[in-house]
Amino acid sequence: MSSQKSYFLESFLIILMASVFFLGLKEVLPKKIFAAAKGPSKNVLIDSMLIDAFESESEDEVTSQNDTLPDETITFEAFNGVTFPEETLNEFKGYQYLIPFYERLFQLENQQTGKVRIAYFGDSMTDGDMIVQDVRAAFQNDFGGKGVGFVSITSESAASRSSIQHSFSDNWKMQSYLNVKKPIRPFGVNGHVFFANSDTNANWVKFIAGRHKNTSSLDRPVLFYGSSNSSAGQVFYTIGSDTIRKNLTSSNLLNTLVLKEGSLKTLQLNFKKTNAIPIYGVNFDDGKGVHVDNFSQRGNSGIPISKFDPALMQAFQKKLNYALIVLHYGTNVLNYGTKDYAWYARSMTKTVNRLREGFPGASILIVSTADKATKYKTEMKTDSAVVPLTKAQRNYALKTQSGFINLYTLMGGDGSMIKWVEQEPVQANKDYTHFNMRGSKKVAGIIYNQIMVGYQEYKRLRAKALLPKAVPIKDTTVTPTVEVNTEDSNEN
């Protein structure tokens, strides 16, 4: 009995001494524990190409190629007779590079015909149609249009989406550009490719119209699928009391099948003998106004877009005709213990160049990372990587002649995520990274407002240039002229 008491006493003393030692050591520990460690956290889903891009950079390369640009003055060459005022690098928005998109929007607004389509690529920030559904609603309220746009066959966030109800069988085989380097068939515009994975049980996907005003019906559903030597593939679906069977002719690189010219409330597709046919998704739109496709992928950095096959993307562009491509990334790039993101800027430059090859005529808009808070000692502060990453995103936006929205600054800058989490009503989650529904709606308003500020300025400049109501877009390449300001930079 006495030996047992002795054992517990020794254990208590060891724990007490360890506690005292830790409290004493705490004052000399770094402000951010493990701040010097590089590479992604093991419990964060990161795409394989981001890891490769980071690990391929040696210390010397990162240091020598770090983009620390002074505050330059950027002037623009006239495009279709319109020139936006010069900008400083610190305040860069790049509206000049969105002129082709703005002209398409102008023609839609003034002639009330045709449609303007936007592809919105993002990570977990736009999961479940967060942010994008409100951007879509804003455009459609102002410019017309109905429909949720392009929807993949399966989705990891289907259950959390309210703009459309989406369910599917569990026997689909999916390959994603997030972690597959050599897919069986090229990835679709959504970054995925799907195959029926059963000879006996039917592969199916079901859609029910959403609860939002402009997505309350499934308008003109069109199935998108790829090429195959198989001629036996079929899709079955029911409209009213009629069961419809369609053969999937898959002779082209990209094939489409109009399932109904009108609108539906519910649509279930059953696939038969389609094992060898790549299936991409179903598009829903009414053929007029503005349509915004949400291509979100948790864990994505944006770099995997460089895996897109240009020929297939050009085929998608002929069918969908995107006027604007939005790249909204950053959440998954902040977990690297580094303040130098030149390596990421170089990789994303390649990504944007691949998009221009695959989607000729489309303008490109970069949305920066939002603020993110991390615990330093006992205090939550803006993560030290946020500002460097934002600058890198701005730099590659300028280099690739893309528009730029500094979401970090517009949401309040330093310490803003803490306020969004702790204020009433709450607008962000306790991870100090992601917005809740209320915050996502506010962010969507920020993004839409910035796009519209540029559009209103474009209309003013357009009128000043005395352009006719309809001007053909001759070329989407806009070359910037950068003049270095001789004054010292005050960039923070």
Neighbours of 428 (CB within 10 A): 28
From CA 294, how far away is CA 329, in angstroms rounded? 13
From CA 377, how far away is CA 169, in angstroms rounded? 47
Reported in sequence order, the residue ranges of 177-239 that DSSP labels E, i.e. its strands, are 192-196, 203-209, 218-219, 222-226, 234-239
Per-residue pLDDT reduced to its tens digit, 385-418: 999 999 999 999 999 999 999 999 999 999 999 9
Q: Is the pLDDT of residue 484 over 50?
A: no
Per-residue pLDDT reduced to its tens digit, 14-55: 555 655 454 554 444 444 443 433 444 443 445 667 766 666
Structure letter (DSSP) for residue 402: -
Q: Is the pLDDT of residue 156 over 80?
A: yes
Q: In the structure, what pLDDT confidence band is assigned to residue 472 with cuts at 50, 70 and 90?
A: low
Asked if 302 contacts 348 with a C-beta cutoff of 8 angstroms, the reply is yes
Q: Which of 396, 385, 326, 303 is nearest to 131 (CA)?
A: 326
From CA 227, how far away is CA 232, in angstroms rounded? 13
From the centroid of its chain, how far is CA 476? Answer: 22
Q: What is the mean pLDDT of residues 115-128?
A: 96
Q: Name the range with the highest mean pLDDT among 3-7, 209-213, 284-288, 466-470.
A: 284-288
Give pLDDT, residue 33.
41
From CA 448, how far away is CA 419, in angstroms rounded? 22
pTM (predicted TM-score):
0.86
Which element (helix H / strand E) includes 442?
Answer: helix 437-464
Interior angle at CA 134, CA 132 and CA 138, nearest 5: 115
List of domains in the chain = 28-145+287-485 (3.40.50.1110), 150-286 (2.60.120)
The bridge status of strand 73-76 relative to strand 480-483 is antiparallel
Q: Which of 121-125, 209-213, 457-461 has the lowest mean pLDDT?
A: 209-213
Between 435 and 482, whose confidence is greater? Answer: 435
Structure letter (DSSP) for residue 35: T
Q: Is the pLDDT of residue 383 over 80?
A: yes
